[in-house]
Amino acid sequence: MKITLLPSTLHPSGATDFQYASSYLVNDSIAIDAGTLGFYGSVQQQEKVRHVLITHTHIDHIATLPIFIENAYTAGPECVTVHGSQTVLDCLQNDVFNNRLWPDFIELSKHMPPFLKLSVFEPGETREIDGLRVEAIAIDHVVPTSAFLLTDSGGSVLLVTDTGPTEAVWFRANQLTDLRAVFLEVTFPNSMGYLAGVSRHLTPDSFAGELLKLKHKVPVYAIHLKGRMRQRVVDEIVELDNPLVKVAETLTQYGWKT
Ligand SMILES: [Zn+2]
Ligand SMILES: [Zn+2]
């Protein structure tokens, strides 16, 4: 399995690690979230993505989904499948593909080569997608949100964003015998603990508290750092002095051998 954080912005010297919005590419054909997916690479690269798993409907996680669906459209019999909880799919229908923000690709798909398929994927469910076993697990954010546990013959990787302090995902992680890595959000610096609390996000201090719930000693990659506060969050993560914790970089291919 390989996982790549897609960049949000370019600098003349190349992609930066800012994650203004979130998308993760898994093995080239699966994306988790579509905050930046529709602005990634060439249409040929986007066309390889056949499945999009949506954690939740905040705009930094779905902003470029309509653009991506358009870019990936080949007018063939196969189309992109968007997996999400019923809450997520209802929001996409009512608030995005509603003929106001964007054409209703869901309705159009009933009358012509389809743009997309919606697939209800509730927390607690597991499914096979392109050789990967994917399990959705409920986490604690201000809207219903799923973490995803990804497993192939090389082991399991857990992607947890966005969430405040939570329990079920660590209970599940501690049951595993093949956990290779965790991607975990840390959004605000410690001085913004109030805002982190009401918006159900983590600070470096509460991130460290979450890691105490995980019994496996595996690499943990920090994701979802707010752009404006990024350096403060990075400094506070470094102060945790935990050798297993690293801040994830965009376009680095994180891989685990099968
Ligand atoms: Zn969110
Ligand atoms: Zn977010």
Q: Write down all domains in the chain, each with its CATH number in brackets.
A: 2-8+15-255 (3.60.15.10)
Q: How confident is the model at residue 122 (pLDDT cuts 50, 70, 90)?
A: very high
**Residue 38 CA, ligand 1 centroid: distance in Å:** 19
Ligand lying nearest the CA atom of residue 35: 2
- Are 145 and 185 in contact by the 8 Å Cβ rule? The answer is no
Which pTM value belongs to this model?
A: 0.97
Q: Compute, in angstroms, the gap from residue 111 CA to the centroid of ligand 2.
A: 34
Which residues have CB under 8 Å from 234's CB, separation 6+?
Answer: 225, 247
Residues 238 and 232: their CA atoms lie apart, in Å, by 10
For residue 235, cis peptide bond before it (omega within 30 degrees of 0): no
Q: Could you tell me the distance, in angstroms and rounded to a whole number, from the CA of residue 232 to the centre of ligand 2?
A: 18
CA 77 – ligand 1 centroid, Å: 33
Name the amino acid, one letter, at 161: T
pLDDT in tens, 40-87: 999 999 999 999 999 999 999 999 999 999 999 999 999 999 999 999
| In contact, 244 and 219? CB cutoff 8 Å | yes
The per-residue pLDDT for 11 is: 80
Give the Å distance between the CA of 106 and the centre of ligand 2.
25
